Structure 1
Amino acid sequence: MDAMKRAFFESFRKLRNQSFWEGCFHADQNCSERIIKAHSIQNNKILNKISENGEVLMFGNELDESFELKAVMKKEGRKRATTFTGFCGHHDTTIFNPIENLDYQIGNKQQEFLFAYRALAHEYHAKKSTAEIARKSLELIKKGEFVELNKIFEQRGEPSQDHIQFMRIMFEAFLEGSKDAEERLEIARVRMNGFLDYGYFDELITEVIEFPEEYHIATSATVIIEKDLEGNIVNDLNDFQTALAPTFVTVFPQSGKTYVLLSYLKRNQRRFKFIKSQILTKSVPEQKIIISNLLISYVENLAFSPIKWRQLDDSMQKKISAAFLNTATQLDKPLLLDKDIDIFVL
């Protein structure tokens, strides 16, 4: 069983690594030649602060003894954690200087825009890479190279025709959904690059939650919130005629406080009125629970302090891990899944 699990994950990691998109999110004539591994969460200012022995914790997946998927916390070196091949060296340095080398100030429109811009770039890279996994998988199935697709077939033997058909249908459906995401994100990329180039930072609205303590947790993510706290629809994933409205989520500790930035395009502000009325009006303990649920339900690019994670009892760790796994592919998910989940640990 262990050998099969190892073969499965080794093959998947190989395919994933071969499928990573490499390019500059702000491609223009000023690009330097080399695409770098850029950090979506600042390494020296944030990851260094929350790491233990140079490592942070991030969610990953494993197979249990029954070959069921489970979510586990895995250590990642901070120099590697949250990196993506989404910028050339020139643009990674010049664009993000105002947030890399200066502390965040509430209301600084340029800084708030750049945090959101980085979150979008990371999501763009993730979706382009995910689509490429599906394309490569379909190509291997077409060629009959099943061991290249996954070494598990080396031990199990060549898949049956029914299994081959199942895999083909699965990856074709996956690719179809990925193409839609790629198209939407390309529109967003062009729009946000225009705002950046012309300094139209007011085209983005940022709601800020400031916790009075420093919590060692950080994220940079683009999410599609489906419902507000009262169950009203924010984004209907079954409505293909209406454009989706993303939320750019950034969380980080700084100078004894923790900042939660919830950013969205001004054109979508009607859909996000609930942030002010349903979240900003709540007490700090209530806000921590709401944001915890948002992060666990919608975010993968999430870094924890190993020290703080150990302070959670075993039952809470299992509850958080189960919630992360169960909501990964869930549709019609509530914003507040579990009122007992609070990942902001002192």
Structure 2
Amino acid sequence: MKSIKNDARIKKCLHPKQEECDQKIIKAHAIQNNRILNKLGENGLVITMDGTSNMIFQGSQKKGRKIATTFTGFCKHHDKLLFQEIEDSEFIASQKQIFLFTYRTMAWHYHKKQEQLNAQTIRYKRMYEQGYDMSSSEDFRLFEKGLKLGIKDNENEKLIFDELLLDEIYDKVNYCIWELPYEVEFAVSMMHELEHDILGQAINNLETDVNLRKLYLNIFPADSKSFCIWSWLKENDDAYIDFSKQFMKLNINDRENYFNNNLPRWTDSIIISPRLWNRWGDGIQEALITHANFDILYRVMEEETSDYKYSYMDTPWNFFEKTI
């Protein structure tokens, strides 16, 4: 698995102006190193949720903050030029800053999906050389089909973002911001196809919809405060304006609880401070990891009851817990 992961790496700048690339592909940070990971780190280390156990299960991992959330998706020139306004300036929630946070999240997940398909192709070839024809497996064919459809969706999304970037049209990304009056001990950079809103109404059908409407989420600590930013392309306002209003109508405890329950199910793009992680202890850590791996069970339960409406469900972990 490690060999395949290394061989599947893609080093290519995702900026639309390829002719300007300096050809030096770097390990760009999807979550800012100096402004965000530096706050979360302890002795240069952070906890990530992108580890694996027994090759297939999601797990936690301790990483140096300088390598956490890195991806080889931009050349040095474009990484510096493109994201300068969010790397070197205080976050003031300008339209351009919101666009850049969203663009970087989109690019990171686009790149991850490309590498995932690359790894699947390598895996298929190596298994075939060992006498196993994975194409004879219906499960494999469905998984591969899903990957390719996801990449096609992402490519369409990236084309829209690239056009907006080149034309410097930043207000075609809509957003909703929840500002917290203290620095949280975690960060998230996530792209998601939300299936149901908070009231349980359908937004995306992952089995039948041709074009899935994507939602982006960035959560991070800043100077003496934190920001939770939902963002999406304005062409998807019909899906996500109502959702964002529903979210903001929740009281603070419910907003936190909504994230505590859903973030582990939705994404492995979560960075946690060792201060918070160690405060939880082994039992809570294991409970969180188990919850992250049980998404398929929760989905079956929801389908059986046809109840997708948010309701408070206690969790032993609280991402929003203060350690000081």
User: Is the counterpart of residue 275 in structure 1 residue 243 in structure 2?
Assistant: yes
The answer for the alignment partner of 2:117 in structure 1 is 131
Q: Matches of 1:168 and 1:48 in 2, distance apart? A: 48
Aligned match of 2:53: 62
SS in 1 for 2:165: helix
Deviates more, 1:18-27 or 1:168-177: 168-177
Judge conservation of contact 1:297–1:324 (CA < 8 Å) in 2.
yes
Q: Using structure 1 for the length normalisation, give the TM-score.
A: 0.84
The residue correspondences of 1:61-210 to structure 2 (distance < 5 A) are 61-63=52-54, 70-106=57-93, 108-144=94-130, 164-165=132-133, 169=137, 170-210=139-179
Label 1:167 to 1:323 Cα distance change in 2 as closer, same or farther (>3 A).
Answer: farther
User: Residue 293 of structure 1 contacts residue 336 of structure 1 at CA under 8 Å; is this kept in 2?
Assistant: no
SS at match of 1:344: coil
Larger Rg: 1
| Shift in Å, 1:165 | 4.6
Aligned to 2:15: 26
After superposition, the CA RMSD in angstroms is: 2.1
* Native 8 Å contact 2:176 2:230 kept in 1: yes
Distance of aligned partners of 1:329 and 1:194 in 2 relative to their CA distance in 1, 3 Å threshold: farther
Distance 1:128 1:328 in 2: 24
TM superposition shift of 1:343: 1.6
Percent identity, aligned pairs only, is: 27
Gap runs ≥5 in structure 1:
1-11, 147-163
Give the match's secondary structure for 2:19.
coil
1:227-266 pair list within 5 angstroms = 227-241=196-210, 243-266=211-234
- Post-superposition Cα deviations, 1:212-267, rounded to whole Å, max 9, x if no partner, equal 121111111111111112211111111233x1111111110011111001001101
**Match for residue 320 of structure 2?**
344
Are 1:14 and 2:3 matched, yes or no? yes
**Does the CA contact (< 8 Å) of 1:209 and 1:259 recur in 2?**
yes
Match of 1:302 in 2: 270
Label 1:26 to 1:337 Cα distance change in 2 as closer, same or farther (>3 A).
farther
What is the count of residue pairs matched by the alignment? 311
AA of the residue aligned to 2:4:
L
Q: Is the 8 A contact 1:226 1:335 kept in 2?
A: no
Structure 2 length normalisation: TM-score? 0.89
Cα distance between partner residues in 1 of 2:151 and 2:58 = 26
Which string of whole-angstrom CA distances, capped at 9 and with x for unpartnered residues, describes residues 50-86 of structure 1?
00110100122212xxx9x554321000111000011
